[in-house]
Each structure stands twice: as C-alpha cells, then as structure tokens.
Structure 1
C-alpha cells in the first residue's frame, strides 16, 4: 500500500503495524521515500493496521482482511480521503472539510517546524557548553532563517555570538567588536518580539563590550524596571559598567540602588566603597574619603568576612585611617561607672 498525508505527499519513514486480531502477532513495515510499504510474510487473517511516525499514531484501520490473493491485500492510507469521510459523517460540507484539511496540514507543518527548531536549539546549547561557538552561531543563524518570529531563537543567537566574541577577544580584541555588535542586533530582535529583563540584561553586556556604554546603561535600567525582584543584580551590573568607564558618581548611585533592592548583596557594598574612595581628597598627608566609605567596606566584611574582597576591603579601610568594625551596625556596650 501507500501512505499519503492530507496534502497528498508521501509519508516517508513511517511505521505500518499489522496486529493479528486472532493471535496478537505483530508485523512492522516501513514506508519508503514514496510512502510505499509491502510485505510477503503476513499470514492470512484479520488485522488492526496502524500507521504511526515518531511514536505518534496517525491513523488505523480495524478488521482488515489479509488473504492469499496479493492484489486483494492492497491497503492505502490516504489521509485527505479519510478526513473527507470523517467530515461527511459529521455533516460538514465539502468546503468545510477542505478547510479542516488545510488547517490540519498547516498544524502538521508547524509541528515539524517546531521539532526542527528545537533540534537547532539543542545543538546550539550543546555546542556552547563545549565552547564551540562557531557551531552554535551557525545552528542559531539557520534557526532564525527558518523562523524569524521567535524571540528565543534570536536571544540564543545573541548568546552564541557573545560567546564567540569573548573567545575571539582573548587573541584579537579588535576582531571581537563587530561580533559583539552582531550580538547586540540579535538581542534587539528578541526584545522587539518579546521584551524581558533577561534579554535587556544580556543586551547591556553586549553593548558594553561593543563600546555602546550609554545604550548599555539604558538596557540595565530597563531590565531592573521589568523585573524588580532581580533589580539588585541588574543595578550591580550597571554599576560595574559605570565603574569601568570612570563614571564614579553614577556608579555610586547604581550600587546604592542595588543595595536598596537587596541589603545583603555584599559585593555591592564593596564596589560602592571602591567608587566612594575614588572621590577621596588629600588633607596634608591624610586621605579623607566621603562619608559612608568606611561603612560600605565594613558592611562588606560583616556579610563576607572571608570573601574574595575581604583583604582589599581591609586595605582600603587602612588607607583612609579607618578601623575594621567587627560589630558593624551594632552599638557597643558602655561600661557603667
């Protein structure tokens, strides 16, 4: 027999299972590139014949007789014909049946497209885990060409390009910049479809590396607006960008916002202190830091006494003549006289 879909195309690589209704014995046949299937070894009897592909049943016939006459054993799966029969049984007109067939064909095509896109996503993610960013970029470029209207595809392409740029940057900083710019474009396309905090955060990172600092600042602020529950992280990332570009006053404000969003984020206190000490002045041979500088470093030490910045924080305190407060934020008990 032959298996064809609702559009009349051959169903290739499908399984046709003959199951004897008398003995339960099963015969599995495969359709070729023309949708054809055949076997000379099926014993006479009555069978349930099921057409399936990728583990999903497409259609089945019950009480199918198989005899010794080979010509009489022909069985075709014509999905357009079967859908038309089903439509007539429910009282639908020919036009309604045709529309139903078209919708089913469209859904089938969409399902196949989704499957292919998921395979591209899986390939890209595996490649990125193995630091094979060229393969990841290629897979996601193909995916966005297949369907340019899915935000996740553009976002993942942006991540793949960012990884590729970082790897390139290790040996050629100039060559990395245009790749970062491509990542920016990919993230922007994702945001145009569906703006999310994560998309803006990663966009900000790529914009920073591409030298688009003012745009990066806007992106981090937008990320914090879209997801206030993670604002501490987004403002911290913003503060890092501002610190690296020498925008001290703006960096101080960003780290203060990060602390306001999460008072237990230790690193925000440390970098707040670093930026504040950058505004210190000399009076004679003594360094005078803005009010709150020592508090920032001591709060970091309270939260992370053995953290990666513990020693630098102590060194900073020593440089401004401040002591390490082991009971920061608590009033010391006074002795009664």
Structure 2
C-alpha cells in the first residue's frame, strides 16, 4: 500500500477513535517515507490527545524539520507549550501567522499568551487581527481586551501582509 493510501487509512482509524491502529499505520508510513510531514504531524496529534506531550512535541518537531512553515504543526506545538514554555509558544504562533495571516485561532492564542506575559500592546494587536479574521472570536477575548477590540469584520487591522 502506498503512503497516501496508508495516510488515509490512518486518518480513518483516528476518526473512528482507533488510536492504536492509527498510530501503527502512521508509523508504517514512516518506514517507507521518513520525510512524510503528515505522518509525523498525525503522530503528534495522537500523542497530544493521549496525554503524551513529550512524544507529541517530538513528532511536531520532526514535521517542522521537514516543512518549517507547516502551520498545523506550528499551531499544535504552540498550544502544547503555551503553559510550560510561553516564549517558545509565542515564537511558533508568530511563525504560523506569518505563513497564514488569516489564521484567526492562531492570533487568538498568540494574544492570550502575550497577555499572560504582560505584553498588552502586542496582545491587543493579535486580538484585533483574530477578530478581524473571525468576528465570532470576540467572545473568547479576555475581559480586559473586549472593549478595545471591535468585533466588526471591517476592522482596519485585518490580515496585514499578503
């Protein structure tokens, strides 16, 4: 079976909550293609869901060594590190939004992490960008930032670079 077919099988197993089967399938992909970022990423997702943060981080790092701009791996590793290594999480989230300026959830997490570090001006900017990309995220902002960030989809801070 080729790598794409195996990946698809692994994703279906994951969807069916067969984590052991999915993990085994993704590892099978890597036996023939060590540079398969999707297999590494999905191993990270499974490890994160199963409460194995060190394994998850290792798998995301492997995916990012293959593709430094793999936004899903950047985002997931950042969420994994938000509490334990917030500065590293900020760097990862900044890379994710640099690759995808419309990544509203990445901006939201970036803003939350910056706010916890006392970097309010940067946090406010990240929250503005999150809400500009997806106005429904306004309800997830910390109270201290809700009044200063407009939920209007016409916010002038939207997106930035293209």
What is the alpha-carbon distance in structure 2 between the residues aligned to residue 123 and residue 251 of structure 1? 45
Count of residue pairs brought into register by the alignment: 151
Residues 237 and 294 of structure 1: is their aligned pair in 2 closer, same or farther, counting only changes over 3 Å?
Answer: closer
Structure with larger RCO (C-alpha < 8 A, sep 6+): 2
1:133–1:252 CA distance, 2 compared to 1 (3 A)? farther
Q: Residue 267 of structure 1: which of 130, 137, 150 is its match?
A: 137
Structure 1 portions without partners, runs of 5+: 1-114, 166-178, 277-292, 304-337
From 117, 129, 132, the counterpart of 2:18: 132
Cα 1:225/1:142, change in 2 over 3 Å: same
Q: Which moved more, 1:211-220 or 1:260-269?
A: 260-269
Distance 1:294 1:258 in 2: 11
TM-score computed with the length of structure 1 as normaliser: 0.39
For residues 76 and 140 of structure 2, the distance between their equivalents in structure 1, rounded to whole angstroms, comes to 24
The answer to whether the 8 Å contact 2:131/2:138 transfers is no
Q: Which residue of 2 aligns with 1:149?
A: 35
In the superposition, relative to structure 1, how do residues 139 and 275 fare at CA in structure 2: closer, same or farther (>3 Å)? Answer: farther
1:161 alignment counterpart = 47
Q: TM-score, normalised by structure 2?
A: 0.74
CA contact (8 A) 1:155 1:199 kept: yes
> What CA distance in whole angstroms lies between the structure 1 residues aligned with 2:120 and 2:23?
34
Q: Are the structure 2 counterparts of residues 269 and 138 from structure 1 closer, same or farther at C-alpha, using a change threshold of 3 Å?
A: same
Segments of structure 2 that go 5 or more residues without pairing to the other structure are 154-162
Structure 1 stretches of at least 4 aligned residues deviating more than 6 Å after TM superposition: none
Deviation of the 1:222 alpha carbon: 0.6
Which of the pair is proportionally richer in helix?
A: 2
| Change in 2 beyond 3 A, CA 1:132/1:256 | same
Structure with max Cα Rg? 1
Aligned equivalents of 2:106, 2:14: Cα separation in 1: 24
Structure 1 residue 219: deviation in Å? Answer: 0.6
Which structure is higher in strand share?
A: 1
Q: Distance in 2 between matches of 1:252 and 1:193?
A: 34
Answer yes or no: is 1:120 the counterpart of 2:9. Answer: no
Between the aligned partners of 2:131 and 2:141, the Cα distance in structure 1 is: 14
